[in-house]
Structure 1
């Protein structure tokens, strides 16, 4: 994209968790063993901060409380470098696997921890594995009570691990008073295609991802939103050998190409945090 062309403003988001936190490996790696695992999230997140600086990109970092507690300096640096600190829950427990009381305690404690470490108010929350759906809509009310302004916890696609295909596809105000920003999808040939990032972005050639993003921007009134994880730019991460073939494919496909493709993406669009992108909408409800 030429320098004299106005680049679309989109929301850049990073789910700050390590390779052993992911849902794909939850049957293979118990949380009780996390402290004995080689930790790589701090180094990888620093690489992302430098890469974002190169492209003048700002992002929302949805941090696990587990990561924040162990790397408090990282939380502070994210804020000091002009990015948004947001909550991803404490230890990547899916919202669908928590009682309402457990969820309420989780989101309150993680918000307080992140605010204490960053020195900034935390406005946003993203449920691990997009795990808010029809079975736990009470989660939105608990987020409101805890002081959050927005959530980005739903993905309107059919998926074996998550998905709310019949829920709104555009950001909207929930009845509970929470602004929900669903992951972007492309309606194509009668299907709802996931185009938000992550493994899909690693799997597809960049030119096709860019075509999908541009088609989304041309056909919808809302900004695009991208998400990924620090471990996705780390092809040297330890391998989980006893995981299923499906989980291994999803997690490891094209890790070596991710950082280069990410550079193209940062160059081709203008990136801001979720709070920046929806500042006017959120200001109406503070």
Structure 2
């Protein structure tokens, strides 16, 4: 039974493989990627089956590296009625790039996706939510490239990202692009991350459901959720050379993610970012 709330919320997937993640960027470089056996195609197709079983449409933020190697996957996602958006090309954090490098990275991803689908791409999400204080110019680049919305900020404190004093809800930027931050819930004066990813794997599902319900009741705003195909893949290779912190972040509770996701799909109402936030392509 669906949650009593009638609010429509945004389901999103960041389509990247286990060797692309920021947690491993100190031990795996882009030059190494082709030496690993990809798992993203099978994992993403598994997610498509789960979404189909629950009648859910999602926004898939596609890494350009993945799109170039699996064009049929991207076409199949689109054919099943999901939204295709950009996750950039190389999974390099935006604040580590110059404006010229960032533009080239996003443009390569956008053009490939648009050529595959024959339609414009409205949305973008920066790897590791890496638009912030030092690179607000990225919004100008995205607007110049024709994007209508971004979901690239997380108003929390984190060692890889975070803009804790930026808006918590969707808003129109001065650059004429909508920014849709990852959700947080204010508890005892602090902003608690509740948007998905590693926190979703770490929290017991009952706690996640409670926090999301509280967010909907308190904020009267739609909720958006994100995760990755590798998070339902408990059989992925274990990288022994990674730090203990990185291993914990990446591997915690992988075997429970799919069952928790299915409960999320049943407990709340879901659609794409474009539908939930009224974005016109």
TM-score by length of 2: 0.98
Tell me how far apart the structure 2 counterparts of residues 208 and 17 of structure 1 sit (CA, whole Å). 27
Q: CA deviation at 1:270?
A: 1.2
Q: CA deviation at 1:6?
A: 5.6
Runs of 4+ aligned residues of structure 1 deviating over 2 Å after TM superposition are 5-8
Deviations 1:14-65 (A, max 9, x none): 0000000000000011110101101000000000001001111110000000
Q: CA deviation at 1:111?
A: 0.6
Q: Which residue of 1 aligns with 2:133?
A: 134
CA RMSD for the aligned pairs?
1.2
Q: Secondary structure at the match of 2:11?
A: strand
Q: CA deviation at 1:221?
A: 2.8
Q: Secondary structure at the match of 1:217?
A: helix
Q: Which residue of 2 aligns with 1:263?
A: 262
Q: Which residue of 1 aligns with 2:196?
A: 197
Deviations 1:60-115 (A, max 9, x none): 00000000000000110111000000000001011011100111111122111011
Q: Which residue of 2 aligns with 1:163?
A: 162
Tell me how far apart the structure 1 counterparts of residues 183 and 62 of structure 2 sit (CA, whole Å). 21
Q: Secondary structure at the match of 2:19?
A: coil
Tell me how far apart the structure 2 counterparts of residues 176 and 156 of structure 1 sit (CA, whole Å). 19
Tell me how far apart the structure 2 counterparts of residues 237 and 172 of structure 1 sit (CA, whole Å). 38
CA contact (8 A) 2:27 2:242 kept: yes
Q: How does 1:176-187 map to 2 (within 5 A)?
A: 176-187=175-186
Q: Which residue of 2 aligns with 1:215?
A: 214
CA contact (8 A) 1:76 1:119 kept: no
Q: Secondary structure at the match of 1:20?
A: helix
Q: Which residue of 2 aligns with 1:57?
A: 56
Q: Secondary structure at the match of 2:9?
A: strand
Q: Which residue of 2 aligns with 1:87?
A: 86
Q: Which residue of 2 aligns with 1:21?
A: 20
Deviations 1:108-156 (A, max 9, x none): 2211101111233210000000000010000000000001000000000
CA contact (8 A) 2:2 2:269 kept: no
Q: Which residue of 2 aligns with 1:12?
A: 11
Tell me how far apart the structure 1 counterparts of residues 29 and 142 of structure 2 sit (CA, whole Å). 27
CA contact (8 A) 1:197 1:226 kept: yes
CA contact (8 A) 1:7 1:268 kept: no
Q: 1:159 to 1:124 in 2, by over 3 A?
A: same
Q: Secondary structure at the match of 1:132?
A: coil
TM-score by length of 1: 0.96
Q: Secondary structure at the match of 2:213?
A: helix
Q: CA deviation at 1:278?
A: 1.1
Q: Which residue of 1 aligns with 2:226?
A: 227
Q: 1:198 to 1:210 in 2, by over 3 A?
A: same
